[in-house]
Amino acid sequence: MEYKLQLHDFFIEGGNREKSHVLLHITEPSNEKERQKGYFFAVCELNNTGTKDIVKLQNIVDEIESRYYEAPQNINENSLETVLKNINRENKPTLDDQVQKHCVVGVIKDQEIVFSFCGNPKMLLFYKTKDDLYKKMDLISANQDETNDQLFSQIVEGKVTPNDFLFIGTSQLGEFFSDDRLQKIITTRPSKQSAQHIERVLSDIRNEFSFGGMVIHLNEDRPSVMAGNKRQPLPKGGSIKSLHNLFATEKNTASTMSPSMFPNINDKIKNAFQEEPSEESLEQTKNWPPSMPAEINSAHLRQYHAKPPLPQKTDVYKQILTTSLKTALIWLKYSVHFIWIVILVIARLLINLGHFLSLLFFVVTNYQNRRRNILENWSQQWRGFKSGIKNLPRTTKIFFTLSALILIVFVFSIFFIRANQVRLAQEKQSQEIIREIIAHKDAAESAAIYKDDTTTLNETQAVKNLIAQLDCKKYKKECDEFNRQIDDTLSQIRKEVVVVPDLLFDWSKQAMGLFRLAKINNQILVLPSNSSTIVIYDLLTKQSKYLDTSLTNFNDIAIPKENDYAAILSDNKTITLYDPQNSSLKTADVAYPNTDTKINDLIIYNRRLYSLDTTNNQIYKHENTKTGFGTGKEWVKDISVNIKNGLSLTTDGDMFVSKTDGTIEKLTAGNKQPFEILGLDPALKTGGQIWTYTDKQYIYLLDGTNKRLIVLQKDGHLKNQITAKEWKNPIGMIIDEQNKTAYILDSNKLYQINI
């Protein structure tokens, strides 16, 4: 027989999150190396707590999972034990001691189970005896250590044999299900039905507490797929022997961190009274299949993806250091020589300056009556200089004067010739630019005739760049003619569509700046930029109403394909859910992996939330939960991606991010893909709202600066650009591609156009 691991969970959300919150976490490995470590699970309950502690516990569980799968194998110690030691050390002061914590974290691999716990969760093993009767074993009370203050104080290892059931649940379950009742429910029906029955009963209670748990079972009804390899099942009751053997060898992580004088005394005493397993049992355990298929039915199951390793920078740093040292030595050699010369010059100047200042001091203060002598000495030097000039021969004076005049004329001639050369060079360069302009203009006109839009744009852009280099003050007539001809050429490829929009509603008299809108069923929700009131426009009645909220600083709004709610982003991180049935608002649970987070935009795709964090250059993927969305996981993997200036986010399976510089970043599976807008004139200088979807044919981009709606094919080529004379600064859009309709928000006015 080959056995299948079956795991089925149940979860019921209570009415008071602060009083009771339950976390279920099941992880499926994504590759063979991780599958050798098994399935990671966690069942946790927090009572009398707040969002801060809930997020902390979620982060702790995520960290345990990540470190466990990334930890190397250790034959002397279980990987989970190593991880929990570090978690205990790092997170002892993290959670408030007044918060009631009941948590089980562990790993299931084939028949082996390794787990640790804190508080008083419920964990029962129902095993078969030789008489084909089920008995129960409380795994928590058998290993309770109330004197230890560690988060996860001990490790328990064991095996679960076929036909046995392992039940893990939150502590509040004991108030409604006794151990005997759980035994009767779980052992008399399939594990999936047991989980469904428990969830159905707890759902009818409807109190303030949340409940959660899982039923684990090894199903022996699956036929073996390994031909010629028959294996005998473990004897009935084998799991209880295995777990007893495990409990005798349990390891206390707190003791490991703070060892006593006799660290192994407890193990020796327990082993002395422990029943040794039989040779037959050991042989059967040895021959048990190393891996089994698993059937996990859980809304909380997710696949583990290892974090990309950080690049090794040791060699790079070493090379940079060596090069820097060599360069520094060369510069030091020449610097010392140069500094020595400078020092000598400065020293000479300082000596002369010091001598002059000392003489000046004597002149000012008449110290030692030296003023008269110094002034006479200076006068004598000046008279000697004038006398030398006066006594020069007349011929010498004439030649000196002529030389000075010739020098002045020579200098002015040099400047005049140089200026004339510059003027002639500029004239020659201008004529060359004009010839290049004519050549590129002719090439652009030829490309436009043959519908080669890319070449036409490149050639016209070259003409514009050359015109910018030309002195249009001097060649004004030529510049104006070239610009007119280029505009005529571009008009042939711009694919401009001028529409006359229908004005649906005008809120211009309202003291609010409307900037973003979204359509849900027959309602259009419009967000203000300076108010807490949301505008709701009904497409059927053509009337608008106002929804007062306590929200401020709206950022964006996203609606899933199912049109059953709207997610409103405010304060760059808070998400509020709008119910169109009763126009009610509800704050959604959401968390981000980084504390310093600024969410600029969000979308909902396949019921998952994707949020754009410009501060951390990241896009987060949030799983859908009953109370909102889970903690975001970093989706961008490529370190070359730069979306710190991202404005708007959309997806059709691939992710598109519109950025403030007018470019669009395309990402596939978290990696950057080449994407360029082709055939668009004028080119984008600033970004705007972007939108597409899986079943849509085009990408739509709103350019408020140039008052146009740009329609792109999925490969980046321009389809057309829609403009209207009525538009002043279009800022928000809704695209209904199926009905060939678009709604444009411009200056607090709602327009409808055909696309």
DSSP 716: S
Task: Please give the structure tokens belonging to residue 151.
Answer: 């988060």
Measured distance CA(243)–CA(238) in Å, rounded: 9
Contacts of 430 (CB under 8 A, 6+ apart): 470, 471, 474, 475
CA pair distance 410, 414, nearest whole angstrom: 6
What CA–CA distances, in Å, run from 444 to 490, 512, 683, 728?
Answer: 9, 47, 17, 31
Residue 491: predicted pLDDT: 85
Spatial separation of the C-alpha atoms in residues 373 and 143, rounded to whole Å? 107
How many Cβ atoms are within 10 Å of 251's Cβ, its own excluded? Answer: 16
Q: CA-to-CA distance for 691 and 137, rounded, in angstroms?
A: 57
Please check whether the domain covering 497-754 is classified as CATH 2.40.50.140.
no
Find all residues with CB under 8 Å of 26, minimum gap 6, and list them.
7, 9, 39, 40, 41, 42, 214, 296, 298, 300, 301, 302
Nearest to 62 by CA among 373, 281, 302, 232: 302
What was the pLDDT predicted at 97? 64
What residues contact 197, with CB distance under 8 A and at least 6 apart? Answer: 185, 189
Superfamily in which the 4-303 domain is placed by CATH:
PPM-type phosphatase domain (3.60.40.10)
Contacts for 140 with CB less than 8 Å, ≥ 6 apart: 117, 120, 121, 122, 123
Q: Which helix (H) or strand (E) holds 376?
A: helix 371-390
The answer to whether 105 and 61 are in contact (CB under 8 A) is yes
* Sequence-separated (6 or more) residues with CB below 8 Å from residue 669: 637
Under-50 pLDDT residues of the chain: 222-290, 310, 313
Residues 6+ apart with CB under 8 A from 129: 135, 236, 237
CA distance linking residue 433 with residue 273, whole number of Å: 100
pTM for the full predicted model:
0.47
CA distance 755 to 738: 10
Edge-first strand order for the sheet with 690-691 is: 496-498, 718-723, 708-713, 698-703, 690-691
Write down the pLDDT at residue 50. 82
Specify the pLDDT at position 96: 62
Residue with tokens 């003619």: 481
* CB contact at 8 A, 445 and 489: yes
Query: Would you state the pLDDT for residue 661?
Result: 94
Smallest CA-to-CA distance from 598 within 577, 625, 620, 568 is with 620
Distance CA 247, CA 138 (A): 12
Number of helical (H) and strand (E) elements in the chain, helices listed first: 14, 41
Helix (H, G, I), strand (E, B) or coil at 6: strand
Q: Give me the half-sphere count of Cα atoms (radius 13 Å) on the Cβ side of residue 662.
A: 14
Q: Tell me, what's the pLDDT at 270?
A: 39
Tokens of 150: 């560690």
First to last CA, the chain: 64
Q: How do 708-713 and 718-723 pair as beta strands? A: antiparallel
**Cα distance between residue 17 and residue 587, in whole Å:** 13
pLDDT digits (tens, 9 = 90+) for 219-270: 765 444 433 444 444 444 444 444 444 444 444 433 333 333 233 434 433 3
